[in-house]
Amino acid sequence: MTHPTSKKYNCIIVEDEPIAAEILESFISRDAELNLVGKCADAVYASSLLSIHHVDLMFLDLHLPVVKGFDFLRKLKNPPLVVVTTAYHQYAVEGYELDIVDYLMKPIPYDRFLTAIGKFKYLMGAEEALLEISERDYIFINSGKKQVKIILQDIFYIESLREYINIHTKTETFTFKMPISKMEESLNPKMFVRIHKSYIISRSKIEIKSAAFIQINGKKLPIGRTYKASIEL
């Protein structure tokens, strides 16, 4: 009897602490859908692994010898999805400019690892979404076989994660496989404004604004340098 093969996602670990790398490796080995294709301790070796293998997910320590994690990530042309591992809290903000699936604080608890993998698999599995624009106060997004109706007034902000978007609303967060630029084209600029390559916000939901960020629903969203001049709030 043949068992249907489950989907396999190739992972690499970029980590210079052997114990932290071993912990991640043991966590990965518990998931039949994750396939570890390599472990490395620095960015140079990581680059060669990425050129040899098709990699879906990279566990990246920020404190690597020579080249730091974020600098390495910025130089990659087509990076895989990334889960950052760090012993320091303050680096999460820097990752705004990059598409990070999740941040894991060391020492990493197994349940927290599972949450990050859940986010990764959801992004990998989301179907290409199609947008139906109406002149009314809502939009329909077709995702797979279902149509999702989203009330425009309910949207707080829209966040880009590479080829996916998260639409944060009053009730829940919707994830669709769609570029943020496509979403931007469909929204009324009187109601919504792009403030960053990764963020579109609802003008009516702004709580605090400054030169560097806008706060919506208690979350500070950065204003991208290239968008500063064009934003009139």
Tell me, yes or no, whether 3 lies in a domain: no
CA distances from 190 to 155, 162, 181 (A): 14, 26, 17
Task: Tell me which of 80, 108, 125 is where a domain ends.
Answer: 125
CA distances from 71 to 58, 63, 98, 109, 172 (A): 15, 11, 10, 26, 33
pLDDT of residue 1: 47
Tell me, yes or no, whether 20 lies in a domain: yes
For residues 181 and 200, the answer to whether their CB atoms sit within 8 Å is: no
- Confidence band of 41 (pLDDT split at 50, 70, 90): very high
Q: Please count the structural domains in the chain.
A: 2
Residue 28's domain is classified under what CATH number?
3.40.50.2300
CA distances from 184 to 102, 106, 125, 189, 231 (A): 24, 37, 23, 8, 14
pLDDT of residue 142: 87
77-116 pLDDT per residue, tens: 888 999 999 887 665 555 556 778 888 999 999 999 999 9
pLDDT of residue 90: 64
User: What is this structure's pTM?
Assistant: 0.69
Domain of residue 106 covers 9-125
Range with lowest mean pLDDT among 3-12, 32-41, 136-145, 215-224? 3-12
- On average, the pLDDT of the chain sits at 89
Range with lowest mean pLDDT among 92-101, 129-138, 161-170, 183-192? 92-101
193-228 pLDDT per residue, tens: 999 999 999 999 999 999 899 999 999 999 998 888
Instruction: Determine the straight-line distance between the first and last CA of the chain, rounded to whole angstroms.
Output: 63
pLDDT of residue 91: 57
Range with lowest mean pLDDT among 4-8, 24-28, 48-52, 222-226? 4-8
Tell me, yes or no, whether 2 lies in a domain: no
- Are 117 and 181 members of one domain? no
